[in-house]
Amino acid sequence: MRILMMMTALIGAAGASAAPPPLQGQWGGDRTILQLTDKGGRIDQDCASGELAGPVRPDAKGRFTATGRFDEHQPGPQREDLSGTPARFEGHIAGNTLHLAIHAGTAPPVHLTLVAGQGVKLLRCY
């Protein structure tokens, strides 16, 4: 009986360890703004934008992977019927710096370095 109680306590303690909180806030860098919330995120560049479909939770080494969509834009009106290119966002956070690679479609990955709290003025693609 005592062993059963100890095993139950250990299983309960292992299950009690909460997942790390998601990254939140604004991150900025090279013509890019990344806004993260506990529900996901939005990334905007001069001529591109995308969404992260869920919260971004780095592992113990600061690495994360998220899915979503990412689209490059052209000057002028954008087609409304395009639902977005599926994308994978891979990143690593170290202190207040976030290194991000965006893999979308067959294009080469986009590599970005973003800083927490940094504002950026975008020059939209017209």
Residue 104: give its domain's CATH number. 2.40.160
Query: What single letter denotes the amino acid at residue 80?
Result: E
Residue 32 domain-assigned (yes or no): yes
Q: Which long-range contacts (CB under 8 A, 24 or more apart) does 63-68 make?
A: 63/90, 63/91, 63/92, 64/23, 64/89, 64/90, 64/91, 64/92, 64/93, 65/89, 65/90, 65/91, 66/40, 66/41, 66/91, 68/40, 68/41
Residue 3 in any domain: the answer is no
The verdict on residue 55 lying in a domain is yes
Query: Number of folded domains in the chain?
Result: 1
Distance CA 116, CA 98 (A): 8
80-109: per-residue pLDDT in tens?
Answer: 666 679 999 999 999 999 999 999 988 899
Is residue 6 very low, low, confident or very high in pLDDT (cuts 50, 70, 90)? very low
Does residue 5 belong to any structural domain of this protein? Answer: no
Is residue 1 predicted with pLDDT exceeding 80? no
pLDDT, position 83: 64
Residue 14 in domain: no
pLDDT score at 17: 60
- The residue range of the domain holding 66 is 22-116
Task: Read off the pLDDT of residues 18-51 as tens digits, 9 standing for 90 and up.
Answer: 667 899 999 999 899 999 999 999 999 999 999 9
- Return the pLDDT at 9: 43
Residue 123 is assigned to a structural domain of this protein:
no
Residue 75: what pLDDT?
Answer: 74
More confident residue, 72 or 115: 115
Which tens digit of pLDDT belongs to each residue from 44-85?
Answer: 999 999 999 999 999 999 999 999 999 888 776 766 666 679
| Residue 29 near residue 115 (C-beta atoms within 8 A) | yes
d(CA 119, CA 35): 11
pLDDT given for residue 53 in this prediction: 96
